[in-house]
Chain A
Amino acid sequence: MKSKRILDALLAPMVAIIFSVVLASVILMLFGANPIETFSKMINYAATPRSISLILNSATTYYFSAVAVAIGFKMNLFNIGVNGQYRLATAVGALVAGALTFPGYISIPIVIFVSMLVGSLWAGIAAWLKVYRGVSEVISTIMLNFIAIGLIAYLLAPSMLGVQTAENVVGTPVIPESGRFPGFSIPGSQVPVYGMLFLAALLGFAYWFILNRTRFGFDLRSVGQSPSAAVASGVNVKRMTMYSMLLSGAVAGLVGLPLLLGAQYSFTVNFPGSYGFTGIAIALLGRNHPVGIAFGALLWAFLDVSSQILDLVGVPREIIVIMQGVIVLSVVIAYEITRRVKVRRQQDAVGKATAVAQ
């Protein structure tokens, strides 16, 4: 029974991936490229130690982002504000990290805490607006993204707290050696793997545990599935909305830290700003399940990293964007179809059962 359930869960993503590969092959052939050659180049490149490091690193970042989004999804909340939350959180975290000269085991936890707090407070604004003023979080979180960008630009102006880190590049003071999160190396790769990979795994477990093994998680899921039923069973929906947005924001606060503490060491105007949207896609792909999200993040990172080699061999790397889009769309469609089939089957069964009873 259990293995059948797993097979059911895997069916939709597998179909989606195959469909996207087929579609990408057709497009590649239209461009005059050989699909088999192209895919084997992607896979060969992805199998090198350096690419594996890069894939693990990107996947770590994506995982945090997708879990932040998934916490909202579980509550029927759509947090599009992960971008703004993590950027502000990372900028403030970078300022704190740049100023601290404690040993790493003291300063890194402080930076992680500060970033989670900032992300959580920024999401808290949207949560407050939703709970007490009825403002849809879809609108408020998007708007807060823009405010966050403006606020960061203000904070990082050289007249405020920013410094010039290179010609034409303004950012936070560079984080001292002691404040960096140690990574580890895969033999043959000069790119270290983020140590925060383990934190991501830990977060995945905590997410699963809280959701499935605690009363809080039960309340959260019940509100997401049916607010009226949740109210009837004594759940305070307003409070749960508040908590889950704060929690989502806190996790969003972690999104920028692997890159900040593991590779870039300074928050600059060039800091990537759209991991939040990637997180939405991966949360959809992984069905908000901690293991599903992990696979989704790895798949996404693999596609992103291998786009580099496509660019080099002259294949338009937009093919990767198309594949990513097709995978997400077909996963969502496949789930919707299987859901409808299931509902119809159930109705049939119920209909037959009642007919027999009469």
Chain B
Amino acid sequence: MRRVIKIASVLFAGSLVLAACSSSDEAAVEENAAPVVKVGLAYDSGGRGDGTFNDAAAAGVDRAVAEFGVEVNEVEAADADGTPERAERLRLLASEGYNPVIAVGFAYSDALAEVAPEFPDTTFAIVDSVVDAPNVGSLIFAAEQGSFLVGTIAASASKSGKVGFIGGMEIDLIKAFQAGFEQGVKAVNPAATISVAYMGPAGDNSAWNAPDRAKTAVEGMIDKGVDIVYAAAGGSGLGMHQAIAAAGGSAKGYWGIGVDSDEYVLPARAEFKENIVTSMLKRVDTAVFDVIAGVVNGSPLTGIQNFDLSRGGVGYSSSNPVVSAFASVADGYAEKIKNGEITVSSTLTE
């Protein structure tokens, strides 16, 4: 009995310490002199400072703060949250007078569907999902189109003709990144081989924050001759950068491709920036900014908002000057996608 309790306490205390360590710092938001619009932002787990997805939303809010002087309150989901906890978070924001209330991540779908009808005068928005209510803007992204473009860059930049893809949780949302990437690679180099690894099955939340697993997977890919890897894996993407840096990085011809945010300029990735040839930009920042701008201007953005290439909702980053060598190829394909000459499928063919 006592032995068991001791083991249990130690394990439990350890997990708590880890949980406390992994949580990011809350960013203080300064209040403006005359706030007109109060923005409520509910992040998915990881929150501001996760280095990709949530940070992209944070960038959009920061821009809105700078341009409109809106007041912002940011709250963040815990890993263990179910629909009731997420619903309560949105409900609290709405009942405190925040408008718009923006839910970052598809995990808020059911919660928002429940809460949105309770506050018909509040504008809600959800990233990466569709909620059918008159006061909700559903912000979805053509990630396959942006992934196609970084795929063409990967195929052009690879010397070995072997490229890699690291996915987070194995769900359709991420498979769209993989599908677009593979089509882009094959468009430039039909003979290229693509190694694929996912960090966890559907339902395994640790897949988004397992840099150790990603590092091992990328090391394995490098051993097989892969010299450029694209990671769409949230916080796990850090492991890809570590493995590429360990292999010698760009000096030895190994490159990584970031996702969601422009990882080349992210402080969280400063250590690895020389190895980041480009990033697939999923402009969650633009979408979040547009939602806030809509409320500020009195014309809220509602309904399904598809942020695709022609709307500037996805793309690739040119922050690293190295990418200019491949830009003409990528831009050529971008034109073809925009004018409909090429249709990028969001599902895997096999």
A interface list, Cβ under 8 A from B:
50, 54, 57-58, 73, 76-78, 80, 87, 138, 149-150, 152-154, 156-158, 164-170, 190-191, 224-225, 259, 263-264, 266, 268-275, 277-278, 280-281, 284, 304-305, 307-309, 311-312, 314, 316-318, 321-322, 324-325, 328-329, 332, 336
- Cβ contact within 8 Å between B13 and A328: yes
Minimum CB–CB distance from B111 to chain A (whole Å) comes to 9
Q: CB of B251 within 8 A of chain A?
A: no
Minimum CB–CB distance from B242 to chain A (whole Å) comes to 23
Nearest CB to that of B76 among chain A residues?
Answer: A311
* Cα(A157)–Cα(B175), bound, Å: 13
Q: What residues of B have a CB within 8 angstroms of the CB of A266 in the complex?
A: 110
Given A73-B5, A138-B7, A312-B93, A284–B12 Cβ distance below 8 Å?
A: yes
Q: What residues of B have a CB within 8 angstroms of the CB of A316 in the complex?
A: 23, 25-26
- Cβ contact within 8 Å between B129 and A169: yes
Q: What residues of B have a CB within 8 angstroms of the CB of A149 in the complex?
A: 200-201, 203-204
- Cβ contact within 8 Å between B84 and A263: yes
Q: What residues of A have a CB within 8 angstroms of the CB of B173 in the complex?
A: 168
Give chain B interface residues in 95-118, CB to chain A under 8 Å.
96, 106-107, 109-110, 113, 118
- Cβ contact within 8 Å between A264 and B76: no
Which stretch of B14-22, B227-235, B255-263, B290-298 is in the interface? B14-22
* Cα(A280)–Cα(B8), bound, Å: 7
* Cα(A338)–Cα(B258), bound, Å: 55
A157, A167, A270, A312: the one contacting B138 at CB < 8 Å is: A167
A58, A156, A309, A318: the one contacting B23 at CB < 8 Å is: A318
Q: Can you spell out 30 A-B residue pairs with CB atoms less than 8 angstroms apart?
A: A54-B84, A54-B88, A76-B1, A80-B11, A153-B170, A165-B109, A165-B110, A166-B129, A167-B138, A170-B172, A190-B118, A259-B84, A268-B110, A271-B203, A272-B81, A284-B8, A308-B85, A308-B88, A308-B92, A311-B75, A311-B76, A312-B73, A312-B92, A314-B73, A316-B26, A317-B78, A318-B23, A325-B12, A325-B13, A328-B13
* Cα(A329)–Cα(B12), bound, Å: 9
Q: What residues of B have a CB within 8 angstroms of the CB of A152 in the complex?
A: 201-203
Give chain B interface residues in 245-273, CB to chain A under 8 Å.
none
Query: Which of A168, A317, A329 counts the most B-chain CB atoms under 10 A from its CB?
Result: A168
Q: CB of B162 within 8 A of chain A?
A: no
> Interface extent on B, as a size class?
35 or more
- Cβ contact within 8 Å between A264 and B82: yes
Q: What residues of B have a CB within 8 angstroms of the CB of A264 in the complex?
A: 82-83, 110
- Cβ contact within 8 Å between A280 and B82: no
Q: What residues of A have a CB within 8 angstroms of the CB of B160 in the complex?
A: none
4 smallest beta-carbon distances between A and B, as pairs: A153-B201, A325-B16, A167-B130, A168-B106
Q: CB of B28 within 8 A of chain A?
A: yes
Interface of A is mostly: helix
Minimum CB–CB distance from A141 to chain B (whole Å) comes to 12
Q: What residues of B have a CB within 8 angstroms of the CB of A309 in the complex?
A: 92
Nearest CB to that of A151 among chain B residues?
Answer: B201
* Cα(A157)–Cα(B171), bound, Å: 9
Nearest CB to that of A331 among chain B residues?
Answer: B9
B interface list, Cβ under 8 A from A:
1-9, 11-13, 15-17, 19-20, 23, 25-26, 28, 73, 75-76, 78-85, 87-89, 91-93, 96, 106-107, 109-110, 113, 118, 128-131, 138, 140, 169-173, 200-205
Minimum CB–CB distance from A48 to chain B (whole Å) comes to 10
Nearest CB to that of A224 among chain B residues?
Answer: B1
B1, B7, B19, B79: the one contacting A225 at CB < 8 Å is: B1
* Cα(A142)–Cα(B132), bound, Å: 40
* Cα(A319)–Cα(B200), bound, Å: 30
- Cβ contact within 8 Å between B16 and A73: no
Q: What residues of B have a CB within 8 angstroms of the CB of A167 in the complex?
A: 106, 109, 128-130, 138, 140
Q: What residues of A have a CB within 8 angstroms of the CB of B96 in the complex?
A: 312
- Cβ contact within 8 Å between A73 and B82: no
- Cβ contact within 8 Å between A73 and B4: yes
Q: What residues of B have a CB within 8 angstroms of the CB of A321 in the complex?
A: 16, 19-20, 23
Q: What residues of A have a CB within 8 angstroms of the CB of B13 in the complex?
A: 325, 328-329
Nearest CB to that of A191 among chain B residues?
Answer: B84
- Cβ contact within 8 Å between B201 and A150: yes
Nearest CB to that of B19 among chain A residues?
Answer: A321
* Cα(A77)–Cα(B200), bound, Å: 29
Nearest CB to that of B98 among chain A residues?
Answer: A312
Nearest CB to that of A150 among chain B residues?
Answer: B201
Q: What residues of A have a CB within 8 angstroms of the CB of B171 in the complex?
A: 168, 170, 269
- Cβ contact within 8 Å between B12 and A328: yes
* Cα(A152)–Cα(B169), bound, Å: 13
B12, B80, B131: the one contacting A272 at CB < 8 Å is: B80
Given A168-B106, A311-B75, A328-B13, A78–B7 Cβ distance below 8 Å?
A: yes
Q: What residues of A have a CB within 8 angstroms of the CB of B106 in the complex?
A: 166-169
A138, A304, A325, A332: the one contacting B17 at CB < 8 Å is: A325
Minimum CB–CB distance from B308 to chain A (whole Å) comes to 15
Nearest CB to that of B16 among chain A residues?
Answer: A325
Besides the known contacts A168-B172, A312-B73, 14 further A-B residue pairs in the complex with CB atoms under 8 A apart: A76-B1, A152-B201, A152-B203, A153-B203, A154-B201, A166-B130, A167-B128, A168-B173, A270-B107, A271-B82, A271-B203, A325-B13, A328-B9, A329-B13
Nearest CB to that of B126 among chain A residues?
Answer: A167
- Cβ contact within 8 Å between A169 and B109: yes
- Cβ contact within 8 Å between B9 and A329: yes
- Cβ contact within 8 Å between B92 and A156: no
* Cα(A170)–Cα(B106), bound, Å: 11
- Cβ contact within 8 Å between A170 and B9: no
- Cβ contact within 8 Å between A274 and B84: no
* Cα(A307)–Cα(B87), bound, Å: 14
Q: What residues of B have a CB within 8 angstroms of the CB of A272 in the complex?
A: 80-82
* Cα(A328)–Cα(B201), bound, Å: 32
Minimum CB–CB distance from A313 to chain B (whole Å) comes to 9
